[in-house]
Amino acid sequence: MEGAEATLDELSTEYGVDSLIGKLELLVDDGQLWLLHLCSKLFDRIKMRHAKFIARTVLVQNNNVEEACRVLNRILGKEEIYDQFRRTRYYEKPFQTRRRINFERCKSIYNEDMNRKIQFVLRKNRVEPFPGCN
């Protein structure tokens, strides 16, 4: 890791942060430690267009490809990449798009209200609605 830090510092002073974004892919190909070091050291200085690349990069550790695939599937699921792929796989007519968007809005409002009600019921310090019935 020491060599990685020295080389990274040399690159950042030689090329500057803006041109270093183009060099990051080259550094990632050299080994696993490079990407981890880049994430920790330069994340605050890297522009957001590269943060997406970092978020979707999964390292395979100890040749455990199945675990890396599970992690990648979880990341893609949270970012709704699969949903976007399913929607753009076939043409969606405009009336279907409007219907889907309206349904998603209603569903999110319903889920928000239901979560609020559940959190209210789960609170411990609320007033007893029926005193003396315990």
Q: What's residue 52's pLDDT?
A: 55
The CA distances from residue 21 to 4, 36, 82, in Å, are 16, 15, 27
Do 12 and 20 touch, CB atoms closer than 8 A? yes
Compute the chain's Rg from CA coordinates. 24
Do 54 and 40 touch, CB atoms closer than 8 A? no
DSSP per residue, 56-72: T-----TT-HHHHHHHH
Q: What's residue 103's pLDDT?
A: 98
Q: What's residue 95's pLDDT?
A: 98
pTM of the model: 0.45
Q: Rounded to the nearest 5 degrees, what angle is found at the Cα of 111, between the Cα atoms of 120 and 76?
A: 125
Q: What's residue 14's pLDDT?
A: 52
Q: Which stretches of the chain score pLDDT less than 50?
A: 1-6, 8, 11, 15, 17-44, 46-47
CA–CA distance, 33 with 72 (Å, rounded to integer) = 19
Q: What's residue 104's pLDDT?
A: 96
Q: What's residue 4's pLDDT?
A: 44
Q: What's residue 101's pLDDT?
A: 97
